Amino acid sequence: MTDLDMKALEKKAWKSTHEDGFVDIVIGTLLVSFSVMPFVENVIGRWYILIAVPVPIIFASLLIYFGKRNVSAPRIGFAKFGAKRQAAHKTSVKLSVLSLLVLVVLVSLTALSQFKPVGTRISGLKVPLLIAVGVLALLSVKAWLLGIPRLTTYGFIIGGSVLCVEFLRDIVGRPWHNVISWGIPGLCILLYGIRMLVTFTRRYPLPSEGNE
């Protein structure tokens, strides 16, 4: 088998590991969770911050770990990739942790802040704009490292959601500015991830299912 064939097989295996939809489900679920946080705040007060930060991170970590181990690996196995892809994966994991922490913490801090009146809103948009650009940059780098172009699209969506929270606050009020800004795009990404997962399980059935 030639080096060209080996590279093609490695590329195919690498691509298949990112077709299970778990990353999309995690991103969608996180955004939906942001949309319901104002309702949680109404029930337990400002202590909801103790839920807003750690719970989504723990959920994302557990879903990725158990999903890959119990759903993806039994279907496509464990592939050992070359040094270049392993380095890209390690860098991506570090960026994932960083982006999750930054996204969840900044959204939580935004929810806890005292918002300025409309007359000073322009200057108040500087921080959300920086957050939006930062999220887009992080996900774009991850998209490049992993070869997953849709992550860049998610960067634009999440960045747009950050700005929408600011613009919609005075139009629709709390908590609906959160529901619209985070809930709608989050639900779309979540459903897309579920669709990817269903397609993945059908394309790569378990060995026992394939022999039936």
Which tens digit of pLDDT belongs to each residue from 105-151?
665 555 555 444 444 444 456 777 887 888 888 888 888 888 888 99
Residue 147, classed as helix, strand or coil, is coil
Query: Is 200 within 8 Å of 21 (Cβ atoms)?
Result: yes
Phi, psi of 80 (to 5 degrees): -100, 115
C-alpha 209: how far from chain center: 31
120-124 contacts, C-beta under 8 A, 24 or more apart: 121/166, 121/170, 124/166
Structure tokens of 208? 């026992």
pLDDT in tens, 52-93: 667 777 887 788 888 888 888 888 776 666 677 677 778 877
Residue 59, classed as helix, strand or coil, is helix
C-alpha 183/C-alpha 200 separation (Å) is: 25
Whether the ω angle into residue 207 lies within 30 degrees of 0, i.e. cis, is no
